[in-house]
Structure 1
């Protein structure tokens, strides 16, 4: 079964511009219809869209679907740029397994947990500086943006003296900053050159940092090239930064709307880890589904036959609102116990930095709830400064008071 508009054409997609925190209503309507839906993105060919939880997991996890096949001008996408070098995001096993294995051996839950105390101190310092600025203050600029870059600098072993340059260059890769195209090219090249130099320094003089650990894992598992390692390090920077920098303000905004949930966290900070999982589930981070998978053979998904060579997108935000899996799915419930959300993806491309993002979000939210228990958004909804033309939904600025 397919879903189409009244004239028989695929549905225009995405369903909104992301200038709201609520998931677009069209997804709920489509989840009530079994099967996949044909959609047309602004660029590339039409494709299937999976809106239900089980269908999305199939598309993300079934080896009969390929990421590596998503190349060329016909790839469905929201912007005109054709897919370029996406690092391991564009690879299938066994190449994907080889490169990811190096990172997973080095980027362990233990290493992330060892960063928790340092991250907590960083958050405390950033909150102190925001309080020192006085209310109202921009939560994005004071806390959400600097936190993940400072943490990843610590993990990668970027010398303190280089961190201002590193943070400026990294903005080229981050959708939280709008830059002219020529500046993006300049900063992106500078960051890649810097990372390449840092890799060579750590190869010559290993240290207790993530790059050194990835180099050791590379030697143990089978060497990856310097370019692959540099791309991997940049990918960790971008993926980890985006989630924290965008979602922490989103979480505060949602909890300000759902004040009973904020009050519950204020009374019980031990619920913060569970709250982070619930908010990752509830907040639809992506404005548009992205990273299509191509069927390598005929595959049935949700009762629809996807032909070999056809692309499919998984609507993660919609899947995380599937009532078949999440009772009362549209309600934010920080007490929710069973929460198998796919907010960090699923399958081989499950977010490598998920544990780091979780830890940063937990420490960020815990500090705000305990240090600023009366924190509130300082502007009305019609004054909010939403990102536009971006892959993720969130705020350019979020003024808060306390």
Structure 2
């Protein structure tokens, strides 16, 4: 059946259960890619099957160039050249800029960070224990942990983190006015611009901004504007996704005490458990987009040069052909690591190792130190960030 003979669904699609992707994805996975309608009237193809999404992520003909006017645009802020740095660029510029920060996020570099990540976790839990109960675990633990980690890597002062977090939340929301989104974007850009100027003047290299200034800006390999864009990208990506994923992951273990008990009895299970959490929640719900740079066949349809494309990660991560009984949370799922939450190919998430390390350490320590941790409200009273491009909890009230 052609798109002219069937209803074109609106995107983004609504969830009917906060613990599951939109049910429309189940129907869409049963056939070849179809068109959907974005709020601005654009009619991109939507990919919902795991094989199709994975193939698109690995195909260089699927462009991520934000400067292409045909690229779907999901944010409320206007298109600004190079605003999202290398994440919205194609080769060779994507690789040139990405390589400037890659060494900071290798498995070896992250291992070296573990002692002070553990210190941050321990301090946050110390602070938790001093608060009156119930406590909002999202606000007091899941959000500040990745914020503190990524901010300290870059050299952002602790006292400025809350401001940047607020600006990020507003910028990714679909439930604010364009003026609010633009104001948040301008505020973050101005702050990072001033911070980079100060770091360059200080001439130190004991944090990532300082090293970028010394190694690349001073050498004429990186403009000041591209430095600000790169820092903004990695700061936002490094805390917003991890904070929401951590909150949802804590919820998963609170909902499945039997599986939590297994992890406590065998700490090695935390690694596959984290892979399942990443698969199950698939928090990048509405903003994984591409534009075809050439004619191509994908998923049984012809996608023409210039056609916009949406990659539905939650749909791919719940594809029953890859993840049988996908709606069930199971830390023993053998296929969990095949999830596409971190992407695939050249644009695979730069901070994947850091994110999984934070989660493994945070979850292990939290449930060891607070063995009586439990929800302080009925599950049906929890509220979720349905209108954000990154899915998550608004609050996670707990007691112990």
Structure 1 length-normalised TM: 0.88
Residue of structure 1 in register with 2:168 after alignment: 173
Indicate how the Cα distance of structure 1 residues 186 and 295 shifts in structure 2: closer, same or farther if over 3 A, else same.
Answer: closer
Residue of structure 1 in register with 2:42 after alignment: 45
Counterpart of 1:284 (choices 278, 282, 285) is 282
Superposition map of 1:89-108 within 5 A: 89-108=87-106
- Give the superposition deviation at 1:147: 1.1
Counterpart of 2:18 (choices 17, 20, 23) is 20
Does residue 401 in structure 1 map to residue 396 in structure 2?
A: no
Residue of structure 2 in register with 1:29 after alignment: 27
Residue of structure 2 in register with 1:54 after alignment: 51
| CA distances 1:69-127 after superposition (whole Å, capped 9, x unpaired) | 6644x654556544432222221111111111112134333222221111111111111
Residue of structure 2 in register with 1:9 after alignment: 7
Indicate how the Cα distance of structure 1 residues 340 and 32 shifts in structure 2: closer, same or farther if over 3 A, else same.
Answer: same
- Give the superposition deviation at 1:17: 5.2
Residue of structure 1 in register with 2:86 after alignment: 88
- Give the superposition deviation at 1:32: 2.4
Distance 1:189 1:29 in 2: 40
Distance 2:73 2:183 in 1: 25
Q: Is the CA contact 1:75–1:82 (under 8 Å) kept in the aligned structure 2?
A: no
Indicate how the Cα distance of structure 1 residues 19 and 329 shifts in structure 2: closer, same or farther if over 3 A, else same.
Answer: closer
Residue of structure 2 in register with 1:344 after alignment: 342
- Give the superposition deviation at 1:188: 4.2
Once structures 1 and 2 are overlaid, which stretch shifts more, 109-118 or 304-313? 109-118
Indicate how the Cα distance of structure 1 residues 69 and 251 shifts in structure 2: closer, same or farther if over 3 A, else same.
Answer: closer
Counterpart of 1:145 (choices 140, 143, 146) is 143
Once structures 1 and 2 are overlaid, which stretch shifts more, 41-50 or 75-84? 75-84
Distance 1:152 1:377 in 2: 28
Distance 1:19 1:390 in 2: 16
Higher relative contact order (CA 8 A, sep 6+): 1
| CA distances 1:348-370 after superposition (whole Å, capped 9, x unpaired) | 22222222211221222112221
Distance 2:183 2:289 in 1: 29
Q: Is the CA contact 1:43–1:76 (under 8 Å) kept in the aligned structure 2?
A: no
Residue of structure 2 in register with 1:192 after alignment: 189
Distance 1:179 1:132 in 2: 34
Distance 1:13 1:309 in 2: 19
| CA distances 1:256-314 after superposition (whole Å, capped 9, x unpaired) | 222222222222222212211110011131342x2421112211111111111111111
Distance 1:172 1:47 in 2: 29
- Which structure 1 residue ranges, 5 or more long, are not aligned? none
Q: Is the CA contact 1:287–1:393 (under 8 Å) kept in the aligned structure 2?
A: yes
Q: Is the CA contact 2:136–2:395 (under 8 Å) kept in the aligned structure 1?
A: yes
Once structures 1 and 2 are overlaid, which stretch shifts more, 63-72 or 233-242? 63-72
Counterpart of 1:311 (choices 288, 308, 312) is 308
Structure 2 length-normalised TM: 0.89
Distance 1:16 1:174 in 2: 20
Distance 1:60 1:291 in 2: 10
Counterpart of 2:226 (choices 187, 207, 228) is 228
- Which structure 2 residue ranges, 5 or more long, are not aligned? none
Q: Is the CA contact 2:12–2:38 (under 8 Å) kept in the aligned structure 1?
A: yes
Q: Is the CA contact 2:254–2:374 (under 8 Å) kept in the aligned structure 1?
A: yes
Question: What root-mean-square deviation, in Å, do the aligned CA atoms of Structure 1 and Structure 2 show?
Answer: 2.7
Indicate how the Cα distance of structure 1 residues 269 and 328 shifts in structure 2: closer, same or farther if over 3 A, else same.
Answer: same
Indicate how the Cα distance of structure 1 residues 183 and 299 shifts in structure 2: closer, same or farther if over 3 A, else same.
Answer: closer
What is the total number of aligned residue pairs between the two structures? 394
Superposition map of 1:290-301 within 5 A: 290-301=287-298
Indicate how the Cα distance of structure 1 residues 374 and 68 shifts in structure 2: closer, same or farther if over 3 A, else same.
Answer: same
Once structures 1 and 2 are overlaid, which stretch shifts more, 345-354 or 226-235? 345-354
